[in-house]
Amino acid sequence: MCGIAGILSLSPAARVEPAALDTMTAQLVHRGPDDEGRYVDPRGRCGFGFRRLSIIDVSGGHQPLANENETVWTVFNGEIYNFRELRTELEQQGHTFATRADSEVIVHLYEEHGEACFERLAGMFAIAIWDQRRGRLLLARDRFGKKPLTYIFHAGRLYFASELKAILALPGLPRELDPQSLHRYLIFQYVPAPHSIYKGFRKLPPGHVLTVDAEQPRDAQSHAYWRLEQRVFDGTYEDAKTRLGELLTAAVKKRLVADVPLGAFLSGGVDSSIVVALMRELGVSPLRTFSIGFPEARYDETAYARQIAERFETEHHEHIVTPRAGEILDTLAWHYDEPFADSSAIPTYYVSRWTRESVTVALTGDAGDECFAGYDRYRAVQLAARFEVVPRPLRRLLAAAAGLFPHSRPRTLGNRLHRFASALAQPPARRYLSWVNIFPPELLAVGYRDEFRASIDFDEPLAWFDGLYDPAPGPAPNQAVRTDFASYLPFDLLTKVDIASMACSLECRAPLLDHELVEFSLSLPLSWRLGPRSGKHILKDWARDRLPSEVLQRPKMGFGVPVGEWFRRELRDLVRERLLLSDSLSNHIFRPEWLHELVNSHLSGRANYEHPLWTLLMLELWANKWRPIGFGADA
């Protein structure tokens, strides 16, 4: 796991300077504190910078590295889980290896297969390959977007890096706020790829490769080398359970390869508990587990995590997050580069920091909910689809009556009924959006200042979401699952974990996001995943002999943070101080009287705006840290 950076000159007169690469990698030390490296093409056309977190072949896996005759160079962030199989194949084809590192298979695989090499890789990665003979740079990202890669064409050069801050550290690089991406952020709590919060910057989408010819940069183009196709499992339910066990075991086993200590995040939920169970079955010793909790009982899962730790005799570590977590918000704003408003970044950062005190690699249960329809909202989608037979006027009446349910407190029955009923009259894609967005579009429509509204295409993010949801095959819950795989999973969940963990120099691996396991899970009939009483039906059925019934049968809690309650107590002054000042970025986007009402309605308990307020707070902290240009952010 590492941090990578690079520059490609698009003009013969502009050589890449080593000092610029050093400036970039100096911003990525947290991603790779163990080693550093640099390469510059003999003609100065291309340069790579590298920071290493040593995991495999600790003494010999230095980067950048090359093939035997140094005509193909690479820098790489991530892990290739099938590197041993690929190495054996390549050695049989005559390739010679100088290290035991997984990174070296990349250059030799490129020699054999060209751009098609990325299809052969199983793992998480952001890769840069410089083909010196052809004068060609390739940038690629793994199938699901576990590892980040951002870039910009500017002043006759292409700059790329694992994190925006590495590029912004160079003098003269623009940081002009993109109002359209700001609008996207307010709806989704993240800026989806390929967009960036800054004009001109791009994020390479998951499963894509960008090819740039130094002599013909205008022909640069990115395209998908992999897509999540629809497949149909043709065996029996028992066949599926058997195959599921094989894939789960293989996925965990592949992610145990490391020359450094490893452990696991343990929430006490089904997914992380299965990962821990399989680590124990595969002989991991000592088996170290790490949990995070909250003083508020509605958000705390530590009792379940403790039960799993005792069952599998792990070396368990447990910590509690308090409202003093607000002290790290400026740190998070720096690490995330763009405004990012998933409040569970707080416990993710803390559990990563405490885990790093004991191990260098942690396995997680991420993606189990997407693979096996575990979110409660998938059942809500299924139920709402049944209301489609109800005439729309009647559904509008039901939606209008939603306000009768008490909804000022999250995670209550009244709040859930309110959210469900209020969306019944909307088309399916917009209904699902209303359950996953942060600011409802109708709330933004009345809140935006006229000048900000005039600078954006208001409906563009909505059309993007429709374009993900509507064409997805299968029944409504399948549409929601596939939409999450193309939006929430890569741009929220995986971004959150990568940035928070790498801020602490910790590598996180997600066995349930193994691409063969994902493809298999989505090939199963919906009823095998979204069972009669809960999601993850077949997963829980498979785990019945491994996990206690209390863990398998308990309601899903989720990795939430009680920020709404914190806002009304410990963080009350911080919200007012940051959002309501006349020179805040929020005051340049929204009408002041609307903004005051939003804040006061939540603080008084009349309404629940915890997620919108958190989104605005993180926007203000980001703007204060990074000083973007535009809409008052540079005031």
Contact 501, 348 (CB under 8 A): yes
pLDDT on residue 120: 97
Nearest-angstrom CA–CA distance, 612 and 126: 32
The residues assigned a catalytic role are 2
Whether the per-residue pLDDT at 203 is higher than 90: the answer is yes
Question: Could you state, in order of their start, the residue ranges of all structural domains in the chain?
Answer: 2-176+195-224, 237-372+483-553, 562-635
Per-residue pLDDT at 77 exceeds 90: yes
DSSP string covering 497-556: HHHHHHTTT-EEE-GGG-HHHHHHHHHS-HHHHS-SSSS-HHHHHHGGGTS-HHHHHSPP
Assess contact for 30 and 185: CB atoms under 8 A: no
State pLDDT tens for residues 377-416.
999 999 988 887 777 777 777 666 666 566 656 666 666 7
Which three-class secondary structure state does DSSP give residue 359? coil
- Is the pLDDT score of 558 beyond 80? no
pLDDT bin (cut points 50, 70, 90) of residue 1 is: low
Residue 301: pLDDT band (50, 70, 90) is: confident
What's the CATH superfamily of 237-372+483-553? HUPs (3.40.50.620)
Lowest mean pLDDT among 22-26, 145-149, 557-561: 557-561
- Residues 328-345 have pLDDT tens digits of 899 999 999 999 999 999
pLDDT of residue 323: 62
Question: Which pLDDT value is given to residue 403?
Answer: 62
Q: How confident is the model at residue 320 (pLDDT cuts 50, 70, 90)?
A: confident
138, 131 Cβ separation under 8 angstroms: yes
Q: Round to the nearest angstrom and report the end-to-end CA distance of the chain.
A: 38
Neighbour order of strands in the sheet with 136-141: 65-66, 72-80, 123-131, 136-141, 208-213, 221-224
Per-residue tokens: 251: 């996925």
Q: What is the pLDDT of residue 400?
A: 67
Name the percent of the chain lying above pLDDT 70: 95
* Omega within 30 of 0 (cis) for the link into 192: no
Least confident of 177-181, 214-218, 344-348, 588-592: 214-218
User: Stretch 487-501: mean pLDDT, rounded?
Assistant: 98
In the three-class reduction of DSSP (H, G, I as helix; E, B as strand; rest coil), residue 262 is classed as strand
- When pLDDT is cut at 50, 70 and 90, the band that residue 251 belongs to is very high
Distance CA 148, CA 145 (A): 7
Output the pLDDT for position 390: 74
Q: What fold, for 2-176+195-224?
A: Glutamine Phosphoribosylpyrophosphate, subunit 1, domain 1 (3.60.20)
Strand partners of residue 223: 209
pLDDT recorded at residue 266: 97
Candidate from 345-359, 382-396, 479-493, 513-527 with smallest mean pLDDT: 382-396
The pLDDT of residue 236 is 98
pLDDT tens track for 118-134: 999 999 999 999 999 99
Q: Per-residue DSSP letters for 108-165?
A: HHHHHHGGGGGGG--EEEEEEEEETTTTEEEEEE-TT--S--EEEEETTEEEEESSHH
For residue 55, give the amino acid letter: I
Using an 8 Å Cβ cutoff, are 599 and 605 in contact? no
268 vs 301: CA distance, rounded Å: 6
Residue 598 makes CB contacts below 8 A (sequence gap 6+) with 447, 590, 609, 612, 613
User: Alpha-carbon distance 338 to 178, whole Å?
Assistant: 11
**Per-residue pLDDT tens digits for 426-477:** 899 999 999 999 999 999 999 999 999 999 999 999 999 999 999 988 899 9
